[in-house]
Amino acid sequence: MSFDLQPTLEGKLLYLRPLMQDDFEDLYNVGSDKLIWEQHPAWNRYKKNVFKKFFRRAMASGGAFAVIDKQTDQIIGSSRFTMYDPVESSVEIGWTFLARTYWGGVYNGEMKKLMMRHAFKYVDKVILLVGLNNKRSQMAVKKIGGKQQPGTTINGLGVQSFKYEITRKRAVSENLV
């Protein structure tokens, strides 16, 4: 069974659908908030020319989502599946951001649960990489059950990151999905 990197996923608060070229302006309107990126290694991603590169990579990944608030039907952020490895039975969930009005757990929690529930149909392990200075994201990943691995790793852009893992077995036994 082949991993579908861009399904449509629906929860109580959100639905995730494949990111489309036409989403650029709406997504940039969210991502242009400088404070979203203040702890992020790509701290200048709020700038349109930098965000365009991020968006192009998201589209090229084949696994990027537009995150939609079901109540307003507005794009509130993005996330993606990347680095699918059938041999290691793993996939990375990352490159995630949400509008600040959606920070605080319930929206990120639902988004990640939807993505993990889907991923664990195909893999045994979900990986999340978080920048060394991104304390908010580190806390958010721990909140959804991510266990920090020893040392650091280099992400897809060559940035040193902490690596967190969630196994299918643990996700099921601890009711994380």
111-150: pLDDT as tens digits: 999 999 999 999 999 999 998 889 989 999 998 899 999 8
Q: How many residues in total does the chain contain?
A: 177
All residues at 6 or more sequence positions from 57 whose CB lies less than 8 Å from its CB, including other chains: none
**pLDDT of 159 strictly over 90:** no
* Type of residue numbered 124: D
User: Among 9-18, 25-34, 62-71, 158-167, where is mean pLDDT lowest?
Assistant: 158-167
Q: How far is CA 172 from CA 2, 67, 145, 175, in A?
A: 22, 24, 11, 5
Q: How confident is the model at residue 177 (pLDDT cuts 50, 70, 90)?
A: confident
Ranked by mean pLDDT, the top range of 5-9, 135-139, 166-170 is 5-9
**pLDDT of 1 strictly over 80:** no
Q: What residue ranges define each of the domains in the chain, with the CATH number in brackets?
A: 9-173 (3.40.630.30)
DSSP letter at 123?
Answer: -
**Which is higher by pLDDT, 64 or 140?**
64
Q: What is the DSSP string of 22-69?
A: GGHHHHHHHHT-GGGGTTSSSTTTTSHHHHHHHHHHHHHHT-EEEEEE
Is residue 79 within 8 Å of 95, Cβ to Cβ?
A: yes
pTM for this structure? Answer: 0.93
**pLDDT of 102 strictly over 80:** yes
Is residue 78 within 8 Å of 65, Cβ to Cβ?
A: yes
